[in-house]
Amino acid sequence: MVQSTPSPDTTGTLARRGLMFILSSPSGAGKTTIARMLLEHDPQLRNSVSCTTRQPRPGEIDGEHYHFITHEQFDAMVEAGEFLEWATVFGQSYGTPKAQVKAGLKDGVDYMFDIDWQGTQQLYQKLERDVVRVFLLPPSIEELRRRLTGRGTDSAEVIHGRMERARSEISHWDGYDYVVVNDDIASCFEEVKKILHAERLRRARQTGLIGFVRELMQPDD
Ligand code: ADP
Ligand code: 5GP
């Protein structure tokens, strides 16, 4: 219930519930790049740091890109119900820890999720109204292969596996609210920013509106 006079704050914004911004794509289509650009550009957005059992890639920092944990630790967290969702990808386990996100949403913090379609489905089933699902597609399969090779982080065998999987990941495109083709990086970034902006304006997320509108409708003295 709103108690005090609920006018917009000094930045002109009303109280708002946070949202869960899910960015998925076939591996190599550019979700990490776009996610990083969004996080740098937008201080209201925080990264949801997943746990994974895979090894860190060069340059990846524990606690920032992922929480790198053992299979035993992962299984114990599953057992204790500490994940909002989890999935097995390329034979490794990935999961979204629950605690931080649930508290943050209430305080109007938006979270970015770089997760696959399985995790997206699980989050949508649990928290449908908080979830915004965005899927990035590569402009072509040849370009996807070029990007995976150009990234220089994986062996030829791993790239072959990722290309195989990319085809099946692409088949889940229709489980998303928005689909953006990541051809030119700057245009893709602009489109994704627009989606985020519009979703923040959804009436149901603007929890401060009820009191604000009530105030606007007060009869004159
Ligand atoms: P993902 O996280 O989906 O696996 P990345 O963001 O790691 O993909 O991108 C894969 C590679 O493609 C990286 O080297 C990245 O710099 C490059 N890349 C991403 N988007 C574009 C784009 N629009 N044009 C050209 N290269 C891109
Ligand atoms: P990578 O090993 O390339 O970082 O990620 C491999 C795949 O796992 C990507 O498709 C990525 O979106 C997905 N992923 C990363 N974290 C999570 C998570 O917490 N849950 C789920 N379901 N997938 C994840």
Is 70 exceeded by the pLDDT of residue 3?
no
Torsion-angle region of residue 92: left (phi > 0), alpha (psi -120 to 50) or beta? beta
Q: Which CATH superfamily groups domain 20-47+111-216? A: P-loop containing nucleotide triphosphate hydrolases (3.40.50.300)
Residue 176: the pLDDT is 98
Give the distance (Å) from ligand 1 centre to CA of residue 183: 10
Give the distance (Å) from ligand 2 centre to CA of residue 96: 10
Residue 5: the pLDDT is 44
Query: CB–CB of 150/33 below 8 Å?
Result: no
Residue 53: the pLDDT is 98
Is 80 exceeded by the pLDDT of residue 94?
yes
One-letter amino acid identity for 15? Answer: A
Q: Is the CB of 96 under 6 A from ligand 2?
A: yes
Residue 2: the pLDDT is 37
The residue extents of the domains of the chain are 20-47+111-216
Q: Over range 94-116, report the average pLDDT.
A: 91
Ligand 1 shell residues, CB under 6 Å: 25, 27-33, 147, 150-151, 182, 184-185, 188
Tens of pLDDT, residue by residue over 111-121, are: 999 888 999 99
Backbone angles phi, psi at 66, to 5 degrees: -150, 165
Cα 62 vs. chain centroid, distance in angstroms?
19
Residue 221 pLDDT level (bands cut at 50, 70, 90) = confident
Q: Is the CB of 35 under 6 A from ligand 2?
A: no
Beta bridge partners of 45: 110
Residue 20: the pLDDT is 98
Binding residues for ATP: 25-32
Is 70 exceeded by the pLDDT of residue 136?
yes
Token representation of residue 19 = 């949202």
Query: Closest Cα partner for 52 from 77, 27, 31?
Result: 77
Q: Over range 32-52, report the average pLDDT.
A: 95
Give the distance (Å) from ligand 2 centre to CA of residue 87: 8
Give the distance (Å) from ligand 1 centre to CA of residue 164: 18
pTM above 0.85, yes or no: yes
Rounded Cα distance between 217 and 221, Å, is 12
Token representation of residue 37 = 């650009």
- What lies within 8 Å, CB to CB, of 156 at 6+ separation is none
Query: Closest Cα partner for 124 from 22, 201, 44, 17?
Result: 22
Tens of pLDDT, residue by residue over 156-175, are: 898 898 899 899 999 999 99
